[in-house]
Structure 1
Amino acid sequence: MTDLSTVLEVGGPVVALGGGAAYARAQHPGVYWSTVGLPLSTVRMLSSYSSVMEACGLTVAPSRLRALAVKAATRREVRPVPPRRGLIRPTSTGLRLRLRLAPGQEPADVAASAERLRHAWGVHAVYVTTVKPGVVELRLVGFDVLRRVRMPRKLTGDFLKVPVAMREDATPFVRDYRTIPHQLTLGATLSGKSMYLRHLITGLARQPVALVGIDCKRGVELAPFAPRLSGLATDPDQAAELLPVLVQAMENRYDLIRARQGIAPGTPNEEITSDIWGLPEKQRPVPIVLFVDEVAELFLVATRKDEERRDEMVTQLIRLAQLGRAAGIYLEVCGQRFGAELGKGATMLRAQLTGRVCHRVNDEASAKMALGDIAPEAVSAACAIAPERPGLAVAGDTSGGWSRIRTPYLSLGDAAEICQETAHLVPDLAALKPFRPDVPAPPVDSPAPVMRPRPVTD
């Protein structure tokens, strides 16, 4: 009986701790990492750093002076020298560590061994970034941050910068319109493309910008955000009327830049290198962000008349993409399918869209259209996105870099409520007033009487 009591007293807490750790690792990976994973990985790294670096081929022969000093002082065998390790900085999702490369090494050598370092130190992933010549930073991620996305609480976006998703290396993905003015976002049904669009709209809704939408699905995607929209077109006919207004607004802004800088009135727009950000704040027009949902609907035609309208709309979109940045007009083009077979101008429009975000698509051709010209290896990553992970996407830009991102969940009701609360920030643009969507007035609840009225009787 005494032995049984001892087993229960000792084994009970051990089983409870083990079960709690397993539950936390499965359901709350952040808590598990902070309490268990972080100490274990730190101990592994400190105890095996030199041997792991040597096994990965990241060591070099010591200098002659160092070899002579070691032999003279300790008479030990001179071992290869690993990169000098900096301070270990723990984070809520992993570890950060800077390495000073040994002579003859380059960042590509460390990046090639990232998978070996991951297994050696028991973490989910290892990412290598260059800080400065001779110094790289290792970002160790303790768990899969894309399984349950949680954006940092203290993260706030600057003007025309919207944090919309989390990267696989546990850094936020920020949509910066000043750096990447135009973007193409693709995704099949239930891929999470609409969730990505909600985060963009709600992030911009809190800023002093004009939001304009073209939603050829009769407005079902963008109509809930009508209180914050300065203009909305719900079919190709309305889009054909809205786009010329935006082109005219762009030309008026170029005239304003000419007048301010003393440029000759006959100078073509393409030769004006400045933008509205060089104007005084009081004269600077408000930026305009145009959201085009289901862009393929603008290309589809059924009659000869529709074909002429299509060509005109596509030409106007291309003009906005080519010249809109300097005028403070930015494009966010979304769709389920995008390819050269849509018609004339599709490839030219795609070439002007610097940013690319590809969710799960139904065919490889769409993934190639989005990412094939900037990062061919990203096409296979986009085609491998599983339907069980909505919101997962591959983001890249024309610089060639790409990464996996995932958008956190945001309900349509919460997004619409944010647009309702920020309706007072809608700028006064006279040209867009005819396209301002009708916003139904909210129902007024009459207060209940404090006392029940009694009928007057004779």
Structure 2
Amino acid sequence: MSDLLTALILGGSVVVLGAGAVWARQRHPAVYWAVLGLPLSVVRVLTSYGSVMDACGLTVAPSRLRALAVRAATRREIRPVPPRRGLIRPTSTGLRFRLRLAPGQEPADVAASAERLRHAWGVHAVYVAPVKPGVVELRLVGFNVLTRVRMPRTGTPDELQIPVALREDALPFVRDYLTIPHQLTLGATLSGKSMYLRNLLTGLARQPVALVGIDCKRGVELAPFAPRLSALATDPHEAGELLPVLVKEMEDRYDLIKARQGIAPGTPDEDITSDIWGLPESERPVPVVLFVDEVAELFLVATRKDEERRDEMVTQLIRLAQLGRAAGIYLEVSGQRFGAELGKGATMLRAQLSGRVCHRVNDEASAKMALGDIAPEAVGAACSIAPERPGLAVAGDTSGGWTRIRTPYLSLSEAAAVCRETASLVPELPALARFRTSVPAYEMASPVPAAPRTALG
């Protein structure tokens, strides 16, 4: 009887532990990975590394000297040699280690076997990144980090570099305006486009940057952030007055750069500049980021007079996109669709927006508008985003590379509070003073329950 009772206790404990592990893996994958997934994956890698490399075709014949030494010392069969593996370094989302490639191998050989390595070691994904000639880093991700987004801890971001989302390889997706000055963000209703905008705007709000908004939906998207905005236009008429001021500001900054270039002979080369970042800090004008929400509203016209105003605004936007980078003026354009059917100048403006982020869209044509001309392989990934995964997007750039990203949840009240707290950072730009809006940020007397994550993204 006592043996039966002991067996029942042990069996019940095993069942409870197994059920707990399954529950943790589904509900709290980060906890499951830290407690159970990480040790198991390390054991798999250590015990099966040589055989897995051989099965994936990543081994090479040993050198003649090594073969002679093995034959003389052990008289064993000479086996192919896998790439030399470095130390395994655990992370909160997976593990990583470096491989020193054998002569004749290249990083593409390892990248081609990433899917087979994933299955062999039982992890969610394997990513390969070159480190230096002959060395690559394997990053193993233990679970789907985009299910519940938790941004990794980072230090204070550099100027105009904002960690705004999480990539599928567990690295932060950084919006770097100095590398990619202008960006287009497309997405259908409830796709998470507004959540991306909130994270980006609140990140910029903490930096010494002038934020300018054009929100032709009567300001419903950008008005809550008014305390931190240097200017806000809430309809096409106001946008038509604001854009010429920005163009004039850009021209004034070019005059400043030219004045700096017209210095006396014998001046050191490092004092000659072609953009504002080469100017002394005391003379450098503050960067300006222009947010254009629902860009299609600027293109829609009803009368011939509206058409003339539209053509003028589009021309000014194109000028800002073509020439604004050197003057420290950057564009962040978003909408549901941005194609040639909007009218003259739409395609030309889109071509200047080198960064692309595509959330869930209503048709394949919209995904092609965002990604088809820079990363055609990413169009299918954008079209496969499910409605129940708001905030999930595909980010691409003109290099042809792309990755899936997802923004963390940020409520409207939290984003508005950040803008109120950073209102003192609004820079002094006299030309934009008359466009400072008096619309107050939303002050809620009592907390309003947040909508579910699936609705807001």
Category of TM-score, reference length = shorter chain: over 0.9
Give matches, 1:294-443, under 5 Å: 294-440=294-440
Query: What is the number of residues matched between the two proteins?
Result: 437
Cα distance in 1, alignment partners of residues 387 and 440 from structure 2: 36
Cα distance in 2, alignment partners of residues 201 and 63 from structure 1: 56
Amino acid at match of 2:354: T
Cα distance in 2, alignment partners of residues 442 and 98 from structure 1: 50
Amino acid at match of 1:103: P
Relative distance call for 1:232 and 1:442 in structure 2 (3 A) is closer
Shift, 1:16, TM fit: 2.3
Shift, 1:106, TM fit: 0.9
- State the Cα RMSD in Å: 1.6
Shift, 1:347, TM fit: 1.0
Query: Structure 1 stretches (4+) deviating beyond 4 angstroms?
Result: none
Cα distance in 1, alignment partners of residues 182 and 441 from structure 2: 34
Paired position in structure 1 for 2:105:
105
Amino acid at match of 1:195: M
Local SS of the residue matching 2:129: strand
Shift, 1:439, TM fit: 4.1
Cα distance in 2, alignment partners of residues 340 and 360 from structure 1: 20
Cα distance in 2, alignment partners of residues 248 and 149 from structure 1: 41
Shift, 1:380, TM fit: 0.5
Cα distance in 1, alignment partners of residues 152 and 110 from structure 2: 28
Shift, 1:273, TM fit: 6.8
Cα distance in 2, alignment partners of residues 156 and 17 from structure 1: 41
Cα distance in 2, alignment partners of residues 339 and 366 from structure 1: 8
Which string of whole-angstrom CA distances, capped at 9 and with x for unpartnered residues, describes residues 73-120 of structure 1?
A: 100000001111111011000011100111111111111110000000
Cα distance in 2, alignment partners of residues 188 and 9 from structure 1: 54
Which string of whole-angstrom CA distances, capped at 9 and with x for unpartnered residues, describes residues 384-432 of structure 1?
A: 1100100000001111110000001000000000001111111111110
Cα distance in 2, alignment partners of residues 242 and 442 from structure 1: 24
Relative distance call for 1:273 and 1:362 in structure 2 (3 A) is farther
Give matches, 1:232-271, under 5 Å: 232-262=232-262
Cα distance in 2, alignment partners of residues 65 and 441 from structure 1: 74
Cα distance in 2, alignment partners of residues 442 and 222 from structure 1: 11
Which string of whole-angstrom CA distances, capped at 9 and with x for unpartnered residues, describes residues 176-212 of structure 1?
A: 1111110000000000000000001100001111100
Local SS of the residue matching 2:395: strand
Local SS of the residue matching 2:88: strand
1:76 maps onto 2:86 in alignment: no
Amino acid at match of 1:76: R
| Larger Rg computed on CA atoms | 1
Cα distance in 2, alignment partners of residues 100 and 123 from structure 1: 22
Amino acid at match of 2:183: Q
- The answer on whether the counterparts of 2:273 and 2:279 sit within 8 Å (CA) in structure 1 is no
Relative distance call for 1:340 and 1:229 in structure 2 (3 A) is same
Relative distance call for 1:99 and 1:3 in structure 2 (3 A) is same
- The answer on whether the counterparts of 1:391 and 1:406 sit within 8 Å (CA) in structure 2 is yes
Q: Which structure 1 segments of 5+ residues have no match?
A: 265-271, 446-458
- The answer on whether the counterparts of 1:183 and 1:354 sit within 8 Å (CA) in structure 2 is yes
Cα distance in 1, alignment partners of residues 146 and 361 from structure 2: 19
Shift, 1:13, TM fit: 2.4
- The answer on whether the counterparts of 1:85 and 1:99 sit within 8 Å (CA) in structure 2 is yes
Local SS of the residue matching 2:86: strand
Shift, 1:261, TM fit: 2.1
1:156 maps onto 2:156 in alignment: yes
Amino acid at match of 1:148: R
Cα distance in 2, alignment partners of residues 395 and 303 from structure 1: 37
Paired position in structure 2 for 1:178:
178
Q: TM-score, normalised by structure 1?
A: 0.93
Give matches, 1:168-247, under 5 Å: 168-247=168-247
Cα distance in 2, alignment partners of residues 143 and 441 from structure 1: 39
Q: Which moved more, 1:18-27 or 1:283-292?
A: 18-27
- The answer on whether the counterparts of 2:223 and 2:439 sit within 8 Å (CA) in structure 1 is no
Relative distance call for 1:188 and 1:97 in structure 2 (3 A) is same
Cα distance in 1, alignment partners of residues 393 and 370 from structure 2: 12
Amino acid at match of 2:74: T
Amino acid at match of 2:224: P
Cα distance in 2, alignment partners of residues 442 and 65 from structure 1: 75
- The answer on whether the counterparts of 1:205 and 1:422 sit within 8 Å (CA) in structure 2 is yes
Cα distance in 2, alignment partners of residues 442 and 416 from structure 1: 7
Shift, 1:64, TM fit: 1.4
Q: Which moved more, 1:153-162 or 1:82-91?
A: 153-162
Local SS of the residue matching 1:87: coil
Amino acid at match of 1:424: S
- The answer on whether the counterparts of 2:413 and 2:442 sit within 8 Å (CA) in structure 1 is no
Cα distance in 1, alignment partners of residues 394 and 53 from structure 2: 31
Which string of whole-angstrom CA distances, capped at 9 and with x for unpartnered residues, describes residues 117-175 of structure 1?
A: 00000000000111111111100000000000000134532211110100000000000
Local SS of the residue matching 1:145: coil
Cα distance in 2, alignment partners of residues 8 and 199 from structure 1: 53
Cα distance in 2, alignment partners of residues 314 and 175 from structure 1: 25
Shift, 1:24, TM fit: 1.1
Shift, 1:369, TM fit: 1.2
Q: Name the % identity.
A: 84
Q: Which structure 2 segments of 5+ residues have no match?
A: 265-271, 446-457
Amino acid at match of 1:323: L
Amino acid at match of 1:320: L
Cα distance in 2, alignment partners of residues 73 and 384 from structure 1: 57
Q: Which moved more, 1:409-418 or 1:154-163?
A: 154-163
Amino acid at match of 2:116: R
- The answer on whether the counterparts of 2:358 and 2:370 sit within 8 Å (CA) in structure 1 is yes
Shift, 1:340, TM fit: 1.1
- The answer on whether the counterparts of 1:70 and 1:78 sit within 8 Å (CA) in structure 2 is yes
Cα distance in 2, alignment partners of residues 376 and 209 from structure 1: 34
Q: TM-score, normalised by structure 2?
A: 0.93
